[in-house]
Chain A
C-alpha cells in the first residue's frame, strides 16, 4: 500500500499510463499491474483513477481502444497508444525530466546550505 497513491497528480498518471502502453497494447488491469510492478509497489492505482484517466486519454486522441480476447480467452478492452499520444509522451517526458531534475537540484542545494 502506498502513501503516494492519493498524491499522484493527474498529469503524472497520464504520463505513466502512456509510458506503459509504449511497449504493447494492454487492458486496464494490466496497466495498473505493470505500473505497480515497475514502481516497486509505490503506485497502486485503483479503478477510480485508472478508468477516468483512460477515458481522458482516449478523448484527447492519445490512446485508442478495442475489445480483444486475452490469452485465457476472455474479452477485455485493450488500449493502444496513438502517434499523437507518442508525441505527447515524449513532450511530457522531457518536461518531467527537466522539472524533476530542477526539483532535485533545489533539494540538493538546500541540503548543502543547511
Chain B
C-alpha cells in the first residue's frame, strides 16, 4: 500500500461523498431487483414481489443512515485513538512539551494581541450606523496642510451643498462649570443642531438637538455624556429640563448620551452644548470642525467636486480679507481622519509579531525533528507491526495539532494579558478603548493556531515519509543522514530563522535608537521646576481684552511676589505639544503674488514674562514691554529659525509683516528669541512668531510658573492668589513641564517598547532556535565527522569544516534577512527620528550580533563532535 493511500482514501471520502452515496443507491437498487426476481421465480406476481422485497429489505434511507454512521463512527473513533496516543506521547516528554507550548504560546499570544488592536482600530468599522457614509471636511491648500472651517465657509456649505444628507459643525473647547460646588473646567464640544443626527447617535434619555436650536438668540441647550451625568447628578436623577451654568451662561439639559458614547467622531467630551453661529463679517477665523453624512448614493468624489465648487464660489465674496486661492474645501472619510497614520505602525507591529511567531514555529519544527529522530525505532517497530505510513503520518499530524492547540490556549491567555497591558499604557491611540478579544479575533487566533500546527507538523511528517525506516530497526538510530528533501528542510530552517530575525532586530534597534535620539533633543527651554496650568476667563466677567489683560497684569505681579517663584508668564500655547495654532503672514518687503498661499508658521500670543518663565534666551533686539499696549503699533518677536529662514543674510529687526490675511496694520519685528520645540520634539520646523497677549486678549491661556526649587506647595499659593482676585476661577490641567515633555515622547516610546519587546523576544527565540537547529544539524553529521577523524583528520580542520557548513547557511539566511529588512524598514520611516531606515551601522551591528550567535551555536556542537572518540561513533553506528 503506498503511503498516500490513507490520505487519498480520506480525500475521496470527503470530496466524493456524494458520488459514494450514488454508488450505494445503485448497489441497493441492484439488491432490490435481485430480491424481487427471486420472489417472482417463486411464483409471485412482479408487483407483489417488488412490494414484498421492499418490505423485507427495510427503508432505504435508514440503510443510507446506517452506512453514514458507520463511516462517521470509524473516523471519530480513530481520531480519538490518535489523540489519546498523542497526549500520552506529550506527557512522556514534559520538557519538550513545555518548551514547545511556551514558544507557541508567546508567538500566538503576541500575534493575537496585536491583531486584536489592528482589528479594533483599523478593520472594524466605526461604531456608528452606516459609517462608510460619514465624512469630515477641511480647508486645505497643500497635501499636508489642512485646517478648520470658518463660520463663513460652514454656512456657505450648509446652504449650497447637494451631496450630504446632513452636516454639523463643532467647536472644541473646555468650559467652566459653576453653580454645582467648586467651579470646574470640563471638556466640552459645542456642536450645531444636526451633530448627533449626522453621526447617528441617539441619546439614551431625552433628545438630541432640534433644528433651529443652533440659531443665535434661542434658548441654550446641552446634551450630557453619561459619565458627566452620573458624576455630577448621580445615577438615578432625572436631569431633563434642569439648567447648568457653563461659562457663566445657563444651559438647559435636553438629553443624556448612552454610556458607551463618551467619544463621538474621535472627540471625547463631558458635555455637548449647542453651538450658535452668528453671521460672519469676515472670512476667518477657521476654528470649526465638521462632520457630514453622504447621501446614500453619493461618493466621496461627489462630495469633493461639490465642495470644490463651493470653494470657488465663496472665494470672490471675501477676497479682500482672504487671498489664498489654493485653499479648497476637501472631504475625507471619517475613518481615515480618526485612524490616521496609526495604521502603518500597527501593520508593521503585526508583521513583527508574525516574524516572532514564525521563528517560534521554526523552533518547534526543529524540536519535533529532534524528537522524530529519537523515535525512529518506535516508528519502525510500528510499521513492521502493520501500521501503514499514512496512519503513522496521521498520528504525527494529530500530535502536532494537539501541540498547537495547547500552544493556542496558552496564547489566548498571553493575548488577554498582553492586550490589557497594551490598553493600559495607551499613549493616545484612537479607538483603543474599543479593542477586545471578540469572535473575529478569536477566529483569527484559531486560524493562526491551526496554521502553525500544520506548518511545524510538516517537519516530522517529511521526516517520517522521506526515510526508509527498515535500517533504523536493524541498527542504530543515526544510520543515514536522510534524503535530499529532508536535508533541504533542515537548511531551510537554519536560513529561515536568520532571515526572519534580521528585519525584526533591525526594526527594533532603529525604533529604540530613535527614542534615545528624541530624548536627546534640546527642547529650547529648561523643563525643570516649571509648573503649567490652563486658565479660562469667562466672557461674562471679562467681556473684552482689556479686562483680560488687567487681570493677568495683576495676577502675574502677585504670583511673582510669592517667595520661591522665579518668574510667571502666560501664553496661548505650550511646548512641546502646542495647541497647533498657526497663522499666515505676508512680508511687507516681499509680498506673495496675489492668489498664492501665504507662508504659515507656528504662532503664539504671550506675555513678556513668558520667555523668562520658560527660560528662552533673547538673542537680538528686545522683548515686548509695557509700552507695547493695545493702541500702540503692534510688534512681534520671532524665533531664530524664522529669522534664518526669511532673512538669512539681512537684519531681521525692524522688518514688517501683515498677519492672518490683514492688509491694514503692519506688524514690526522687534526681537529674536531662541528656538522652542512647539510642534513636538521631532518637528523639523521651529519657525515661530510670538505676539504680545495684549494685542489679542485671548481668554483661554496657559499659566507658567518657574519655581526656585521643586516648587512643592507653590501651587496652593498660586491658586490662592488667583482666587483672591476671582473666586470662581478654576485651574485646570495642572502639570509640570517635565511631565509634558515625557508625554511628548510617549507615543514613540510606546512603539519602540513594543517593537523592542518583540525584537528581544525574536532574538531570544532565534538564538535558542538557531543554536538548536545548528547543533542538531551538526550532530547529524557526527558519523561523517567520525569517519574523517578515524582517517586521521586534524580535529581543528574538521571543526572548521563543520562550522563553515553551518555558517554558510546562517549567512544565506542573513543575506535574505538584510534584503527583507531594507525593504520593510522603509515603512518605519514615519516613526523614526534622526536615523535613516537603512542606517548602515544598525544593519551591520545586527548582522554581527546574529553572526556571533551563529558562530557559538556552530562551535559548541562541533567541539563536542570532535571530542568524541571516533571509534565509538562508528561502532555505535
Contacts and interface: CB of A to CB of B under 8 A. Distances in A.
A71 to B, nearest CB: 12
Contacts of B1: 61
B58 A59 contact: no
Given A59-B71, A59-B74, A48 B62 contact: yes
B74 A52 contact: no
Contacts of B58: 46-48
B62 to A, nearest CB: 5
Interface stretch (A17-25, A74-82, A95-103): A74-82
A56 interface: yes
A65 B271 CA distance: 79
Interface in B48-90: 56-60, 62-63, 66-67, 69-71, 74
Interface string B540-552: 0000000000000
Contacts of B560: none
Contact of B34 (A29, A55, A67): A29
Q: Select the residue from A32, A46, A47, A56 with max chain B CB neighbours within 10 A.
A: A47
B26 interface: yes
B30 A51 contact: no
B56 A75 contact: no
Contacts of A76: 27, 30
Contact of A52 (B28, B38, B57, B66): B66
Nearest to B33: A74
Interface in A28-67: 28-30, 32-33, 46-49, 51-53, 55-56, 59, 61, 67
B35 interface: yes
Contact of A51 (B38, B56, B59, B67): B67
B1 to A, nearest CB: 8
A61 B387 CA distance: 12
* Interface SS of chain A: helix
Given A47-B58, A48-B63, A74 B70 contact: no
A32 B28 CA distance: 12
Q: Is the interface of B mostly helix, strand, loop or mixed?
A: helix
Contacts of A29: 30-31, 34-35
A112 B65 CA distance: 47
B487 to A, nearest CB: 34
B848 interface: no
Contact of A28 (B27, B38, B59, B62): B27
Contact of B30 (A46, A59, A75): A75
Contacts of B28: 47, 51
Interface centre among A28, A29, A33, by most chain B C-beta atoms within 10 angstroms, is A29
Contact of B57 (A47, A56, A67): A47
Contacts of A52: 63, 66-67, 69-70
Contact of A55 (B35, B62, B67): B67
B23 interface: yes
A74 B67 contact: no
A75 B34 CA distance: 12
A10 to B, nearest CB: 10
A74 B38 CA distance: 16
B317 interface: no
| Most-contacted residue by chain A among B30, B56, B69 (CB, 10 A) | B30
24 contacts: A27-B27, A28-B30, A28-B31, A29-B30, A29-B31, A29-B35, A32-B31, A33-B38, A46-B58, A47-B60, A47-B63, A48-B63, A48-B66, A49-B66, A51-B24, A51-B27, A52-B66, A52-B69, A53-B70, A56-B70, A59-B71, A67-B23, A76-B30, A77-B26
Complex A-B, nearest 3 residue pairs according to Cβ-Cβ distance, in ascending order:
A52-B70, A29-B34, A29-B31
Given A48-B62, A51-B27, A77-B26, 12 more contacts: A27-B30, A29-B30, A47-B57, A51-B28, A52-B63, A53-B70, A59-B71, A74-B30, A76-B27, A76-B30, A77-B23, A77-B30
